């Protein structure tokens, strides 16, 4: 990392972190360099975050936090920069913003999986001194802290959540296929058998969906392939931290790809066109799953936010 640029005292930013938790997860280097430039108001804090699809929870949360912060610090202003873009495009647009002092946000929301890449690109500065004064830092799980800590031992972000991934399944679709309402699969073969039962039933539902394909970006790797790979138990993982090399072709790697191939070969998943649709997750959350047109979905615990009373598609069931 280059030397940290000169910037004014961070007391106000520390206060801001207290209100936003980890929504504004990181401090870009160029933003602080730009604070002393004539094009940026040093009393203004610019926050960039993703706003895409029908869900507005993140935007509402950050807006409320900004209002609270402004009330506590009337001499400072908060400028919100919602980036309207799908996941892959968001990362690109965000990095373009961070590359210039003129456009860079002071705080930016990122997914932890891309955080260290942006550290390596010198887009971000360490915030260890900030998190050590953050009142909830000790409440964060150690694994989550590790995810935002670089090899230099510095923290670069504040996690807002952790998550659990699971197989969501639609009980009505299962009932049509003669499957139990308290289904508990114990193996990949159990999942495939359930998918075959849905395929062969009178249901028109897609049996099973696992994110795959380049347009899905991180969903295809972390919420798709890696969910399979780490379940194989062969211990190889995806990356060797000692050799700093990716692990390709391990038994678990091959078995995971074979499972995906089986889904497509036996028509147990959505069409290829649907898998290549960058907006398929929005379709799944807003219609396919609530309407009983999808039997099983591997996804995270957070997706239920799409079905609350104030969401775009309330689904009380």
Torsion-angle region of 255 (φ positive above 0: left; ψ -120 to 50: alpha; else: beta): alpha
Q: Two tokens at 47?
A: 């926050």
pLDDT, residue 73, reads: 92
What pLDDT was estimated at residue 17? 33
Give the burial class of 9: count Cβ atoms within 10 A of its Cβ; 0-12 exposed, 13-18 middle, 19 or more buried. Answer: exposed
CATH of domain 11-147: 3.40.190.10
pLDDT of residue 116: 85
pLDDT at residue 30 greater than cutoff 60: no
How far is residue 242's CA from residue 271's CA, in Å, rounded to a whole number? 40
Residue 53: pLDDT band with limits 50, 70, 90: low
pLDDT at 211 over 70: yes
Domain spanning 165-307: CATH superfamily: Periplasmic binding protein-like II (3.40.190.10)
For range 8-15, the mean pLDDT? 34
* 26: confidence class by pLDDT, cuts 50, 70, 90: low
What is residue 39's predicted lDDT score, i.e. its pLDDT? 63
Q: What is the pLDDT of residues 126-156, one digit of tens each?
A: 999 999 889 999 999 898 899 899 989 999 9
Closest by CA to 148, choosing from 58, 242, 17, is 17
* Whole-number pLDDT of residue 94: 85
165-307 shares the fold of 11-147: yes
Higher pLDDT, 4 or 51: 51
Burial of 243 (0-12, 13-18, 19+ CB in 10 A): exposed
Mean pLDDT across the stretch 32-50?
68
DSSP annotation of 26 reads B
pLDDT (tens digit, 9 = 90+) per residue, 245-291?
Answer: 999 999 999 999 999 999 999 999 999 999 999 889 999 999 999 99
Task: Examine the pLDDT at 219 and tell me if it is beyond 60.
Answer: yes
User: E strand or H helix at 147, and its extent?
Assistant: helix 142-147
pLDDT of 218: 84
Report, as an integer, the average pLDDT of 229-234.
Answer: 89
Least confident among 102-106, 208-212, 264-268: 102-106
Q: Is 187 exposed, middle or buried (0-12, 13-18, 19+ CB in 10 A)?
A: exposed
Give the model's confidence band at 28: pLDDT under 50 very low, under 70 low, under 90 confident, else very high: low
| Burial bucket for residue 265 (CB in 10 Å: 0-12, 13-18, 19+) | exposed
Confidence tier at 3 by pLDDT (50, 70, 90):
very low
For the chain, the structural domain boundaries read: 11-147, 165-307
Q: Which among 43, 49, 16, 241 has a CA at the least distance from the CA of 127?
A: 16
Q: Which candidate, 106, 119, 105, 109, places its Cα nearest to that of 149?
A: 119
Q: Residue 55: which pLDDT band, with cuts at 50, 70 and 90?
A: low
pLDDT category, 4, cuts 50, 70, 90? very low
Least confident of 42-56, 110-124, 133-147: 42-56
Work out whether the CA dihedral 168, 174, 180, 185 comes out positive or negative: negative
Query: What are the E-state strand segments in the chain?
Result: 27-28, 44-50, 77-83, 107-108, 124-125, 165-169, 206-209, 239-240, 245-246, 294-300
**Quick one: which H or E segment has residue 129?**
helix 128-131
Please name the residues in contact with 241: beta carbons below 8 A apart, sequence gap of 6 or more: none
Mean pLDDT over each residue of the chain, to the nearest integer: 84
């Amino acid at each position: 990392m280059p030397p940290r640029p000169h910037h004014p005292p961070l007391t106000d930013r520390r206060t801001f972190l207290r209100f936003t938790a980890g929504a504004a997860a990181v401090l870009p280097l160029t933003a602080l360099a730009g604070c002393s430039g004539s094009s940026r108001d040093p009393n203004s804090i610019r926050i960039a975050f993703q706003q895409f699809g029908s869900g507005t929870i993140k935007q509402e949360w950050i807006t409320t936090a900004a209002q609270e912060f402004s009330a506590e610090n009337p001499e400072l202003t908060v400028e919100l920069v919602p980036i309207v873009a799908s996941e892959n495009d968001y990362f690109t647009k965000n990095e373009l913003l961070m590359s210039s002092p003129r456009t860079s946000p002071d705080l930016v929301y990122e997914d932890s999986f891309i955080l260290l890449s942006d550290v390596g690109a010198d887009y971000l500065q360490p915030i260890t001194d900030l998190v050590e004064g953050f009142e909830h830092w000790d409440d964060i799980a150690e694994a989550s802290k590790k995810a935002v800590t670089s090899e230099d031992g510095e923290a670069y972000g504040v996690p807002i959540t952790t998550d659990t991934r699971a197989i969501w399944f639609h009980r009505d679709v299962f009932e049509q296929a003669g499957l139990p309402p308290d289904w508990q699969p114990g193996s990949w073969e159990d999942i495939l058998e359930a998918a075959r039962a849905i395929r062969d039933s009178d249901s028109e539902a897609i049996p099973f969906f696992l994110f795959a394909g380049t347009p899905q970006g991180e969903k295809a790797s972390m919420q798709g392939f890696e969910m399979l790979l780490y379940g194989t138990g062969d211990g190889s993982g995806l990356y060797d931290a000692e050799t700093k090399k990716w692990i390709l072709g391990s038994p678990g790697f091959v078995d995971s790809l074979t499972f995906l191939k089986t889904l497509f070969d036996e028509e147990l998943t959505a069409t290829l066109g649907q898998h290549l649709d960058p907006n398929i997750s929005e379709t799944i959350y807003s219609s396919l799953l609530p309407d009983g047109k999808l039997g099983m979905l591997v996804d995270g615990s957070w997706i239920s936010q799409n079905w609350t009373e104030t969401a775009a598609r309330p689904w009380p069931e």
